[in-house]
Amino acid sequence: MKFVAMLVLLCLTPAALAQTFAGGIAPRELDPAAGISVILLGTGVPLANPQRATACTAVIAGDRIYLVDTGRNCLIPLTRAGIQDIDGIFYTHYHSDHFIGLGEILLNMAIAGSTDSVPVHGPVGAIEVVDGIVATYRLDLSYRLAHHGDKFSAAVMQPRVTEHESGVVLEENGLKVTMFDVCHAPITPAVGYRFEYQGKVIAISGDTNICPAYAESVRDADLLVSEVENTQLFNAAINAARSAGNARQVEMIEEGIEYHADSLELARMAQEMGVKKLALTHLFPSIMPTDQAEALFTRGMSDLYKGPIVVGRDGMEVAP
Ligand SMILES: [Zn+2]
Ligand SMILES: [Zn+2]
């Protein structure tokens, strides 16, 4: 049997062989002349949903690929999208559901043969978080360097981190990235990003409730990728928890609602700010990716927002 398997492998073309090692996924073909789009890689929240990784969005600008946040299991939808190398990472804040997948993404890049250290951008706190992850991998790195020598890049496991104040944080290859403050109190700093490329604007919210700072920063965006929570669904859960005498659960839900973006308020804000297309991510509660659940989740939004609404599922690509 082993012999037959060997024969099959020997008959594969180099490209097919590479796919065999990447779970059958072909590398994504990148077109320098292409515009800007996003892939919603992680649309979940900390409470586990096997159908959703946590916060992670790829922004593709021509042949460059950036990530906004690197949540739990982000590597899996990233691999499914045929992406291995990353040109930069932007962090919105340091709740762990937004960064905990970083180590595995870097390790995968290093094993696959990447050699360059990835630039990481974020508000204050990025150095502490990335240093912590690098420290976690220190033993692993020592084993791999001792075993593989310079075939394994130590540089990839040590990202280049820059902490920023809000404002323009990157301009390269025609892409301009602006960091803006959002409202996720008591968590500060908490930011979102505006990506401008070839005349199109994509804004990504990070975690926030609806507030003037958030609204102003997404004005006239061609695409807004926003976090969202559905207060109506939570009200039913709160009533059930209260009836069951579960005060802890009532408070946990109420505290969650406070610092996330209510679906109807989000729809109203998107309409008022002239947002041309809305994509929902970080869905809270973390519904199943079914048409029925999504219809329930978005109920009432189309009455307030007249543009298209995309309910995010992991791996979904959205263009402005
Ligand atoms: Zn979050
Ligand atoms: Zn958060």
Rounded to an integer, the average pLDDT of 277-285 is: 97
Q: Considering every ligand atom shown, identify the ligand nearest to the alpha carbon of residue 43 and give its number.
A: 1
Residue among 173, 226, 179, 213 nearest 197 (CA): 173
Residue among 195, 235, 228 nearest 209 (CA): 228
34-318: in CATH 3.60.15.10: yes
Q: Kindly give the distance from the C-alpha atom of residue 291 to the centroid of ligand 2, in angstroms, as a whole number.
A: 26
CA–CA separation, 182 vs 190, rounded Å? 6
What is the greatest pairwise CA distance in the chain? 66
Q: Which band of pLDDT confidence, cut at 50, 70 and 90, is reported for residue 13?
A: confident
Q: Which band of pLDDT confidence, cut at 50, 70 and 90, is reported for residue 26?
A: confident
pLDDT at 8: 59
Question: What strand order describes the sheet that includes 64-68?
Answer: 160-163, 119-122, 88-90, 64-68, 56-61, 36-42, 316-318
Enter the DSSP assignment of 292: H
What are the helix (H) ranges across the chain?
2-11, 14-21, 75-80, 102-112, 126-136, 138-148, 212-217, 231-243, 247-258, 263-272, 291-297, 301-304
pLDDT at 10: 61
Which string of DSSP letters, residue by residue, matches 60-73?
Answer: EETTEEEEE---TT
Question: What strand order describes the sheet that includes 309-311?
Answer: 167-172, 175-181, 191-197, 200-204, 223-229, 278-284, 309-311
CA–CA separation, 160 vs 299, rounded Å? 43
Q: Is the pLDDT of residue 12 over 90?
A: no
Residue 63 neighbours by CB under 8 Å, 6+ apart: 30, 31, 32, 34
Q: Kindly give the distance from the C-alpha atom of residue 134 to the centroid of ligand 2, in angstroms, as a whole number.
A: 22
Angle, helices 102-112/126-136, rounded to nearest 10 degrees: 60
CA–CA separation, 210 vs 181, rounded Å? 12
Q: Which band of pLDDT confidence, cut at 50, 70 and 90, is reported for residue 287?
A: very high
Instruction: List % helix, strand, coil for the chain (3-state, nearest 5).
Output: 35, 25, 40
DSSP, collapsed to helix, strand or coil, labels residue 284 as strand
pLDDT at 2: 59
Contact call for residues 43 and 281 (beta carbons, < 8 A): yes
Question: What are the tens digits of pLDDT across the range 213-235?
Answer: 999 999 999 999 999 999 999 99
Q: Kindly give the distance from the C-alpha atom of residue 282 to the centroid of ligand 2, in angstroms, as a whole number.
A: 10
Enter the DSSP assignment of 115: -
CA–CA separation, 208 vs 183, rounded Å? 5
Q: Kindly give the distance from the C-alpha atom of residue 293 to the centroid of ligand 2, in angstroms, as a whole number.
A: 23
Q: Kindly give the distance from the C-alpha atom of residue 31 to the centroid of ligand 1, in angstroms, as a whole number.
A: 31
